Amino acid sequence: MGLIYPVIMCGGAGTRLWPTSRGAKPKQFQKFGADKTLFAAAIERVSLLASLARLVVVAGEDHARAVLADLRTLGVEADVLLEPQARDSAAAIAAAAAWVQRLDPNGVMVIVASDHHIPDAQDFRDAINACIPAAREGAIVTLGVRPTEANSAYGYIRPGASQESGIAAVAEFKEKPAPDIAASYVAEGYLWNSGNFVATAATFLDELRACEPEIAAAGLASVETAQPAIGVWRLGNAFCAAPRKSIDFAVMERTNRACVLPVSFAWSDLGAWDAIHAISVQDSQANAVLGQAVVKNGAGNLILAADGVAVAISGGRDLAVIAERDAVLVADLNQAQSVKALVEHMRRSDWPQANGVLDGYASLTTARETLRNWLFYSALPFWASMGVDRGFGGFVEALDLDGAAPPTRRRMRVQPRQSFVFGRAGAMGWAGPWRVAIEIGFEGLAQRFSRGDGLYRTLVDVDGQALEETAYLYDHAFVLLALAWSSGVMDNAEAKALSLLDQLTETFTHDRGGFSEVDNAFLSNPHMHLLEAAMAWVENGASPRWRGLAENLARLALEQLIDPQSGAIGEHYRADWQPAPGPAGALLEPGHQFEWAWLLARWARLGSDEAALHAARRLFAAGERGFDPARGVIVMQIDKSNAVIDPIARLWPQTEWLKAALILMEESRDGGERGFYEKQALAAVNAVDAFLLKNRPGLWRDKMTPDGGFVEEPAPASTLYHLIEAIRQLMASV
């Protein structure tokens, strides 16, 4: 006998509850004056059902963070299935049924909405338990609520003759009627259609195959190709092929298995602000006040004030006054259903408040202007001043929140990285002292890090005394990159770069292709930055030798480094460019997948290499496997089985995610693909923004902990290299 699998459906935008319900936080993730969200209340209702096996949640990718936050708060585990695209309830139920049947061929699904108000959880569970025997016999049982009024906002069910169990066959479904027709329905014993269903997974799939075979096929295929991510499963793109239909239209109005159990518990789908008023007060003439608000000489009003917002109302009757930090709604509660039309009007007028969320950027255009200003007027001036150590000669390693440089050892790589930053800044049109900064960086490199043999030591102390003489290939890639952007500042920049390349080739060339690092280590990371440097010279119209280097490095990545099964590039390799044995060979850094994707997409342009663009898309998908929906960020390390090795999220992988999404958005073949990468870019730019310090312009946090907090430490200078390229790409792509 199959167990019980509650399926919570998290679709729906709740547009009529604007401005509170919108964007990534629609009504199911709002509290509306309660102590928990509607979704959390739905979890609690179903978590105590008898014979419970496992909770299943179906949600859009935009809602993953909110879903996981409530699950974590309640301490409840669930299989979270993320839709790649909203396709209405029939497709969502098809995927859930395919998932449950794979777990348990006889499993019984209890399909509930995430955004309904049902105050008596035990009455609800009793009703569900009463439906299960009929469901095991092949029925699809829905709960029909006995009406308490003639409400034209609900659909209706005409029940047939009742059986001994109280369950009746459904005689007819009716869509939302006009008010006079709703009154006649109530008089004739019709029930409100609650949108809750109980049936086996097999029954749902059988009926979907019979009524909507395309939806059934898309649901099954999306589960077969589902990919695990951190805490969730992403349904395969086959889901997008499902016709957009509700389960009522697709199955319930056409099947001969539909049954209904009449119930009398309190229920509301909270479809508009009048419904929120109704559940908040017992007397319809009373004022419902949610948040910091006061009403004088008014009656029947609903006042909702967001955190940090105060609302005062004098007079007024039957009004909804909803005040969020960036938008205010004033509406007659008797016209609550018209709010959706208002939102549609605002969307046609491109009002960001119609779609946006209060935290983060609502559009890439807004992000572009904000981050450009942050870079030009905060970060670059700050680091050109406080980040330069003229006494040492060169750039500091980090800056604390007071703008002071902690006395710490200095890495060679920071000097060319910062020189590159200011060279890039000059090319982008920044009017600050970028030339002086480049001169100081190369002066410090020569004075403090030169070994005298044309290469550079990797580490000195705060006084410039050598701590480690080793010359790393990785470090020198940034010297080549910085020289490419020092035009007009450094004399004979390309000649110096070519001379250094000669020495690197002589010292590090590997007879199986590419280069070996110090101690005969075979690493992908130095090759990535050498490719970046070579392409910078190619883009600047330099010697053909750079194109040859770029082509060889791109070939190495495409033919040797990329795993043909996963499409990912590892960190550690053997001398034959096969993955290193053991954990080292299984290690993946999602940030590097995005960085490689960005570079190979650029190479696809430079070299007219379609294979490189295809590889870039696969690398992007590999990087996505490091996405943590609970925090909305990319983690540091996973392995080839997608297990998290290091859950810390640093700022730099978020910038690489952004760069890769933007360039692949530009290279998209159709509107659907472009929309996907644009959505990824918006998520990435908001991830980047989460690390930037609003009260310390020009500074950032570097490490986000697994609980979403941040490590208290100085901002590393080396991150500016990642930030400027991400913002430059944003400026170029949007």
Q: How confident is the model over 50-106, as pLDDT tens digits?
A: 788 899 999 998 899 899 999 999 999 999 999 999 999 999 999 999 999 999 999
% of the chain with per-residue pLDDT over 90: 86
Q: Are 2 and 136 in contact (CB under 8 A)?
A: yes
Angle made by CA atoms 446, 448, 450, in degrees to the nearest 5: 50
Other Cβ atoms within 10 Å of 259 Cβ, number: 23
The Cα 734–Cα 732 span in angstroms is: 6
- Which tokens sit at 621? 């998908």
8-state DSSP, 557: I
Q: Are 717 and 702 in contact (CB under 8 A)?
A: no
Q: How confident is the model at residue 411 (pLDDT cuts 50, 70, 90)?
A: very high
- Which tokens sit at 445? 């490199």
pLDDT for the residue numbered 358: 58
User: Domains in the chain, please, with CATH?
Assistant: 4-271 (3.90.550.10), 275-354 (no CATH), 364-733 (1.50.10.10)
Q: What average pLDDT does the structure give for the chain?
A: 94
The Cα 81–Cα 233 span in angstroms is: 5
- Residue 197, amino acid: F
pLDDT for the residue numbered 348: 85
Q: Is the dihedral of CA 63, 68, 73, 79 positive or negative?
A: positive
% of the chain with per-residue pLDDT over 70: 99
Q: How confident is the model at residue 392 (pLDDT cuts 50, 70, 90)?
A: confident
Other Cβ atoms within 10 Å of 310 Cβ, number: 10
Q: Rounded mean pLDDT of 297-323?
A: 94
CA dist 413 to 200, 417, 428, 480, 610, Å? 61, 6, 23, 11, 33
pLDDT for the residue numbered 353: 82
Whether residue 84 has a cis bond before it, omega within 30° of 0? no
pLDDT, tens only, 348-369: 887 878 866 556 888 899 999 9
Q: Rounded mean pLDDT of 587-607?
A: 97
Q: Decide if pLDDT at 498 tops 60.
A: yes
pLDDT for the residue numbered 424: 97
pLDDT, tens only, 208-243: 999 999 999 999 999 999 988 888 999 999 999 999
- Which tokens sit at 654? 């978020």
Q: Rounded mean pLDDT of 559-572?
A: 97
pLDDT for the residue numbered 171: 95
Q: Are 283 and 302 in contact (CB under 8 A)?
A: no
The Cα 625–Cα 433 span in angstroms is: 41
pLDDT for the residue numbered 1: 78
- Which tokens sit at 660? 């890769």
Strand pairing report for 522-523 and 232-234: unpaired
Q: How confident is the model at residue 658 (pLDDT cuts 50, 70, 90)?
A: very high
Q: Decide if pLDDT at 347 tops 90.
A: no
Write out 329-342 in H/E/C secondary structure: EEEEHHHHHHHHHH
Nearest one of 236, 235, 245 to 214, comparing CA atoms: 245
Q: Rounded mean pLDDT of 200-211?
A: 97
Q: Decide if pLDDT at 34 tops 60.
A: yes
Q: Are 560 and 513 in contact (CB under 8 A)?
A: yes
Q: How confident is the model at residue 28 (pLDDT cuts 50, 70, 90)?
A: very high
Q: Are 700 and 382 in contact (CB under 8 A)?
A: no
pLDDT, tens only, 667-689: 999 888 999 999 999 999 999 99
Q: Is the dihedral of CA 112, 113, 115, 119 positive or negative?
A: negative
Left, alpha or beta for 257 (phi > 0: left; psi -120 to 50: alpha)?
Answer: alpha
CA dist 526 to 67, 255, 410, 412, 555, Å? 39, 61, 20, 15, 15
The Cα 158–Cα 190 span in angstroms is: 5
Strand partners, 542: none
Q: Decide if pLDDT at 649 tops 90.
A: yes
pLDDT, tens only, 465-495: 999 999 999 999 999 999 999 978 999 999 9
- Which tokens sit at 211? 């009524």
pLDDT for the residue numbered 443: 93
Other Cβ atoms within 10 Å of 670 Cβ, number: 7
Other Cβ atoms within 10 Å of 313 Cβ, number: 18
Q: How confident is the model at residue 716 (pLDDT cuts 50, 70, 90)?
A: very high
Q: Decide if pLDDT at 734 tops 70.
A: yes
- Which tokens sit at 361? 């950027």
pLDDT for the residue numbered 398: 97
Q: Are 288 and 299 in contact (CB under 8 A)?
A: no
